[in-house]
């Protein structure tokens, strides 16, 4: 006799529990939705390697980041709410001390930060503070405020433990071959759901439904180092970023490799990072770890958010690139409002912008 299989029904299956999938899962649970999450906890997931910096004024050209006036308050609110709900500390407000290496750099800084829209993110600098006499000085110093740092690994770990306890997370690779669609529902193993949402980071390039979207490979390598008694309290942007973690531990990064075939640490990048760090610090340091990951970057440097044009049972929130800490809270919320309330997506992030390209 044929037995009809019994399925556990949920509103949404989420594939990927990096920063994006974790934020999406928490947001949907907050709205009273039921979810089931699959994640293979890839060792080199971008969120596990990132510094989590939110920096409003970036780059050699000293420009304000896209949408930053909206992103910062939104990110702050989201991470603070999660801190309260999960009982952890993940959001650190930290200014960025930016070293200006030449008179030309200084002039560029003064010119750009003179602009009204940028000026509010810049502080009149009062010197190097705790970096004084511990780093090689440049020609000048700029200081950025309203910047912050998000502890992504702690958010991921806490979320993983919580979801495992609640039996709403399976630690395994999601097998696309096993997905079935029937009567406006999607079936995967013992679960049936209203939709599957993919938050797979760079692994999204292998997704049979969304893999053709214009992902780009941007591998980054970093060092974790001990700098005994440095007591740096701010983020330093010198030849590298030096970001305080805890107990004399600092995040040092990072490299950019736009066509690496893999996400593994390389000796070449390690030596480059050490070489640069020696140019930054005048005090000793000790290497604790060396990590690598591929940032989920896109051709136009904008996120990839939306439902599949031909199968609306499938959705994606991806493409957070180099700025997931600030972009993911905002675009996850936008996607949830789109999904549950029919609100419009930002055209610059909506995957519909690529439909005509096929």
Ligand X SMILES: Cc1cc2nc3c(=O)[nH]c(=O)nc-3n(C[C@H](O)[C@H](O)[C@H](O)COP(=O)(O)OP(=O)(O)OC[C@H]3O[C@@H](n4cnc5c(N)ncnc54)[C@H](O)[C@@H]3O)c2cc1C
Chain residues in the site for ligand X (CB under 6 A): 15-21, 38-42, 45-47, 49-53, 152, 173-174, 199-203, 220, 222, 253-254, 293, 295-296, 318, 320-326
Q: Least distance to ligand X from the beta carbon of 44, Å?
A: 8
Closer by beta carbon to ligand X, 14 or else 230: 14
Give, as one character, the DSSP assignment of residue 41. Answer: -
Closer by beta carbon to ligand X, 105 or else 151: 151
Q: Least distance to ligand X from the beta carbon of 324, Å?
A: 2
Closer by beta carbon to ligand X, 179 or else 340: 179
- The answer for 312, left when phi > 0, alpha when psi is -120 to 50, beta otherwise, is alpha
Q: How far apart are the first and last CA of the chain?
A: 47
Number of CB atoms found within 10 A of residue 256's CB: 14
Q: Least distance to ligand X from the beta carbon of 174, Å?
A: 3
Q: Least distance to ligand X from the beta carbon of 15, Å?
A: 5
Closer by beta carbon to ligand X, 174 or else 285: 174
Closer by beta carbon to ligand X, 127 or else 289: 289
Q: Is the peptide bond before 269 cis (omega within 30 degrees of 0)?
A: no
Q: Least distance to ligand X from the beta carbon of 107, Å?
A: 27
List, in order, residues 6 or more apart from 200 with CB less than 8 Å away. 15, 16, 207, 318
CA 177 to each of CA 9, 52, 111, 151, 307: distance values in angstroms, whole numbers, following the listed order:
20, 34, 55, 34, 19
State the residue for tokens 């979801």.
163
Closer by beta carbon to ligand X, 238 or else 295: 295
List, in order, residues 6 or more apart from 324 with CB less than 8 Å away. 18, 19, 20, 46, 47, 50, 152, 296
| Nearest-angstrom CA–CA distance, 87 and 84 | 5
Q: Least distance to ligand X from the beta carbon of 190, Å?
A: 16
């Amino acid at each position: 006799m044929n037995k009809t299989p019994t399925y556990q029904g949920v509103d949404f299956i989420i594939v990927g529990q990096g920063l994006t999938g974790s934020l999406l899962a928490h947001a949907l649970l907050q709205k009273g939705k039921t979810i089931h999450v699959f994640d293979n906890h890839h060792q080199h997931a971008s969120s596990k390697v990132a510094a989590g910096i939110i920096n409003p004024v970036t780059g050699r050209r000293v420009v304000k980041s896209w949408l930053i006036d909206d992103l910062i308050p939104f990110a702050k609110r989201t991470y603070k709410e999660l801190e309260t709900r999960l009982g952890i500390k993940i959001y650190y407000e930290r200014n960025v001390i930016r070293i200006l290496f030449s008179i030309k750099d200084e002039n560029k800084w003064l010119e750009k930060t003179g602009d009204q829209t940028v000026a509010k993110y810049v502080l009149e600098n009062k010197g190097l503070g705790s970096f004084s006499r511990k780093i090689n000085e440049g020609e000048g110093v700029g200081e950025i405020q309203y910047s912050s740092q998000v502890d992504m690994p702690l958010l991921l770990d806490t979320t993983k433990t919580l979801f495992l306890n609640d039996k709403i997370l399976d630690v395994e690779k999601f097998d696309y071959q096993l997905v079935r669609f029937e009567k406006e529902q999607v079936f995967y193993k013992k679960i049936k759901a209203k939709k599957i949402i993919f938050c797979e980071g760079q692994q999204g390039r292998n997704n049979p439904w969304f893999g053709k979207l214009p992902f780009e490979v941007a591998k980054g390598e970093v060092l974790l180092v001990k700098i005994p008694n440095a007591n740096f309290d701010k983020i330093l942007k010198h030849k590298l970023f030096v970001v305080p973690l805890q107990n004399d531990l600092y995040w040092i990064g990072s490299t950019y490799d736009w066509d690496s075939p893999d996400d593994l640490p390389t000796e070449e990048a390690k030596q480059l990072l050490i070489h640069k760090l020696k140019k930054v610090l005048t005090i000793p340091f000790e290497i604790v770890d060396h990590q690598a990951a591929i940032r989920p970057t896109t051709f136009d440097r904008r996120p990839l958010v939306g439902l599949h044009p031909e199968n609306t049972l499938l959705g994606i929130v991806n493409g957070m690139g180099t700025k997931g800490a600030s972009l993911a809270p905002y675009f996850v919320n936008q996607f949830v409002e789109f999904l549950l309330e029919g609100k419009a997506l930002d055209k610059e992030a909506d995957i519909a912008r690529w439909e005509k390209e096929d």
